[in-house]
Amino acid sequence: MKTTGKKLLCLVLALSLALAVCLCGCGPQEPAPSPSPSPSEAPAPSEEPVAQRTEVNLAVLSGPTGVGAAKLMADNLADATANAYTTTLCTDNQQVMAGLINGEFDIAAVATNVAANLYHKTQGGVQIAAINTLGVLYILGPADRPVASLADLAGKTLYATGQGANPEYVLNYLLAQNGVSDVNVVWQAAEEVTATMLQGEGEYCMLPVPAATALAAKSEGKITAQISLSEAWDALENGSQLTMGCVVVRTEFAQEEPKAVEDFLKEYSESIAFMADPANMALSSDQNPAQLVADFGIAPSAAIAGAAIPQCNLVYLDGSDMRSAIQGYYEVLYAADPTSIGGSIPDDAFYFMPGQA
């Protein structure tokens, strides 16, 4: 009995020990802690968000006033501009005026007399921001019967484009200053003037480039540019410049987005400098100024644009330089016809000055 009890006791102890070992070995384990990532393995901080480009509705005119913007327009398509431009190519000043008045356009290229009219019409709602072109008008005629001066037009019929705009006022002023009062001026659209001349129905005409350039090319040398109205203006030595094209901005937009306007002016000045540089005419087609002008429909072809760009008198003037250049021109227009600039010479508030907002 004693022996049996001892054996039973030993068996119970052995089973208890075995069960304990089993429970310890098979029970749930605490998961090993994950190693902390080393500094080199730490996730990289997220990149800074890209600055939002301000949306700007830009209108440009076909013809010389629009030429200077071609490089800017190309850069915009490549997302390489500070602002995001939605560009509208317009065929006449009236279309641009309507867009500025109704708020469709924020910045636009227009004729300088249109800028003054808009300022008065909107009671200061539109300001001039920069001058972009000087004189672009030419008198053309038959190569075998050229005219050497405006006085030579006396008694002749002149087909011209631009009635009610800068060309009419400039022509009338220059004829009067040269003592010519008997020119029969027939006003037509540029396309009609070209057709009239090519069909032999007219001898002499006035056109801006690139329309003047295109006419000379289509005539195969029979019709040539004979008088530059810019040279005729300068010959008067009246202290003014023939400032025919400019860019304007809606005053409300300039007040709300002053940086966007100044970014535009910087990029626009660079665009004009690029377009006016003769060396760039040797660039490949996707960067060639003449090809850009043709691609955007500002001129009918690269060949015509290439010949016209040097005659466009591209320039960039802003701030006080802009004001001093155009003030005398407005005085001339006012003396010739006050309604041509809206009834009065614009005051100081007309001029957008960088940093004024």
173-216 tens-digit pLDDT: 999 999 999 999 999 999 999 999 999 999 999 999 989 999 99
Q: Which residue has the higher pLDDT, 96 or 16?
A: 96
Residue 324 has pLDDT above 50, yes or no: yes
| Range 276-298 average pLDDT | 92
Residue 33 has pLDDT above 70, yes or no: no
Residue 27 has pLDDT above 80, yes or no: no
Least confident of 21-30, 47-56, 153-162: 21-30
Interacting residues of 357 by C-beta distance below 8 A, sequence separation 6+: 254, 255, 258, 261
Q: Which residue has the higher pLDDT, 176 or 5?
A: 176
| Range 244-273 average pLDDT | 96
Residue 284 has pLDDT above 90, yes or no: no
Given this model, what pLDDT does residue 47 score?
52
Task: Give me the chain's average pLDDT, please.
Answer: 86
| Range 336-357 average pLDDT | 88
39 cis-preceded (ω within 30 degrees of 0)? no
- Name the pTM for this structure: 0.79
Q: What share of the chain is helix, strand, coil (3-state, %, to 5)?
A: 50, 20, 35
136-151 tens-digit pLDDT: 999 999 999 999 999 9
Q: Which residue has the higher pLDDT, 29 or 342?
A: 342
Percent of the chain whose pLDDT exceeds 70: 85
Given this model, what pLDDT does residue 50 score?
52
Which residue from 184, 112, 111, 110 is spatially nearest to 153, judged by alpha carbons?
A: 184
Give the span between the Cα atoms of 269 and 256, in whole angstroms: 22
Q: Which amino acid is at 348?
A: D
Given this model, what pLDDT does residue 297 score?
92
| Range 227-254 average pLDDT | 93
| Range 113-122 average pLDDT | 95
Given this model, what pLDDT does residue 285 score?
78
Q: Which two tokens stand for residue 95?
A: 């279309």
Residue 299 has pLDDT above 60, yes or no: yes
Q: Is 314 helix (H, G, I), strand (E, B) or coil?
A: strand
167 cis-preceded (ω within 30 degrees of 0)? no
Banded pLDDT at 22 (limits 50, 70, 90): very low
Which residue from 166, 201, 161 is spatially nearest to 185, judged by alpha carbons?
A: 161
Domains (ranges, CATH) in the chain?
54-134+241-350 (3.40.190.10), 137-236 (3.40.190.10)
| Range 255-262 average pLDDT | 95
Given this model, what pLDDT does residue 52 score?
86
Residue 87 has pLDDT above 70, yes or no: yes
Q: Which residue has the higher pLDDT, 8 or 258?
A: 258
Given this model, what pLDDT does residue 356 score?
62
Given this model, what pLDDT does residue 10 score?
37
